[in-house]
Amino acid sequence: MAPISRLFDFIVIGGGSGGMACARRAASYGAKVAVIEDRGRLGGTCVNVGCVPKKVMFNGASIMEAIEDAKHYGISVEKPAFDWGFLKHARDEYVKRLNGIYERNLGKENVEYVAGTASFLSNTEVKVNDDVLKASHILIATGGHPVIPKIEGAEHGIDSDRFFDLEAQPKKVAVVGSGYIGIELAGIFHALGTDVTVFTRTEHILRHHDSIIGDTMLAEMKRQGIKFEHNSSVQALKRLSAAELPLELSWSTKGSDSTSSSTYDCVLWAIGRQPSTQALNLGNVPGVKLSRTGHIVADEYQNTGEHGVYSLGDVFGKSELTPVAIAAGRRLADRLFGGARFAQAKLDYVNIPTVIFGHPTAGTVGLTEEQAKEKHGADNIKVYQTRFTNMFNALTPYKPPTAMKLVVAGPEETVVGLHIIGRGCDEMLQGFGVAVKMGATKRDFDNCVAIHPTSSEELVTMR
């Protein structure tokens, strides 16, 4: 039977946050739109195995920390018992509700949801199941997936996606990787009572962030009792039979000739993510090029080198954050279907705020100190920073740090970088992100009257 051919104005490959936002915005202008998704549920990484379920786990971990703090405020709480299975079930039900909302929203916008794997036939045609879908505009928004190390026995470990499949809480976990995913999941595991060791290839963590965030986070995680194997390179993972801790991880350490090993009941790979392009049959759209990291190359308007084919989100690889993909998707749909007033619509990828849901939380917008010096010259950069204890911990015997840094450039002292870590930083960054995006100067910050007593007031009182 010959494939059935169907015509659309716009085809979106990928039902994640960016693809969904772009499809719905296009449909709001009257475009006939199809969304193709091959994972059986809408929402992409963020809704299913990323931001949303992770924040649920973070919230649970934060409640456990609050219970520990309660006694220092005269509040007696019996020794808490945590039920991993209960939280997993509640979290999964929440995600299912979101999946349903996403699908219903497509229906409300008259966007057709096509379940299956898309494969390019040309720059205007894709094959899905037994159908051929045609459109003059096709968006690739297929997202990414975790990288698994190429070592013996790697299949015995789990990645960040499969973290959410865990039915029971592990007793002892090795987290291999010290980027934001590894650090967030390590913090969750530890706060909920798991013995955690983090493996990192250098002396540092969160190396793509300003040093005030990485260094402060590392010191605080160690104070909490999380162990670190620095300058380590994992060599192999072996499954042991009839052992309480059935996974033996071996690793080498820079500067040492010997190999070390230890046993765990869970080993989590958090060494990075890579774009999902393998099933697209990109050979039929030769203008679509891949970068050396495998991401789809596109310009500032999300145009690939193939006419009518676009790319955004994690598969594009620039600022791989859900709100970035959503914003880029909406602007692309505005430009393609919104008429003349949106002819130049595009996302500005400069000064995008982001948060690390670690323990403690951290946030950043703009350039790191080193990036600012490289861009503007060291002589044109000035740094304001402070460290203090949040008033919440005035009554606790331990004093987790709060640290803040403003990086300013030029004689006007324009704020080109803002980096904060400590209690509540995740919720305070958004407003300061607006200020940095608007080009605020240190004087603008100084002219804002402080809100007392808060941590955020330190950002407008630095000297």
* Residues with active-site annotation: 452
Instruction: Report the C-alpha gap between 243 and 23 in whole angstroms.
Output: 50
Cβ atoms of 41 and 310 closer than 8 Å: no
* Residue among 101, 108, 83, 94 nearest 48 (CA): 94
Contact criterion met (CB below 8 Å) for 91 and 53: yes
| Structure tokens belonging to residue 424 | 């509540």
Please give the Cα distance from 362 to 71 (Å, whole number): 26
The tokens describing 193, both together, are: 């009572």
Would you call 87 helix, strand, or coil by DSSP?
helix
User: Could you tell me what percentage of the chain is helix, strand and coil, using 3-state DSSP and rounding each to the nearest 5?
Assistant: 35, 25, 35
Q: Helix (H, G, I), strand (E, B), or coil: what is residue 215?
A: helix
Q: Are 397 and 411 in contact (CB under 8 A)?
A: no
Distance CA 272, CA 293 (A): 11
Give the sign of the dihedral formed by CA 254, CA 258, CA 263, CA 267: positive
Give the DSSP letter of residue 460: G
β-strand partners of 326: none
Among the listed residues 36, 54, 64, the one whose alpha carbon sits nearest the alpha carbon of residue 95: 54
Closest CA to 61 of 91, 95, 97, 94: 91
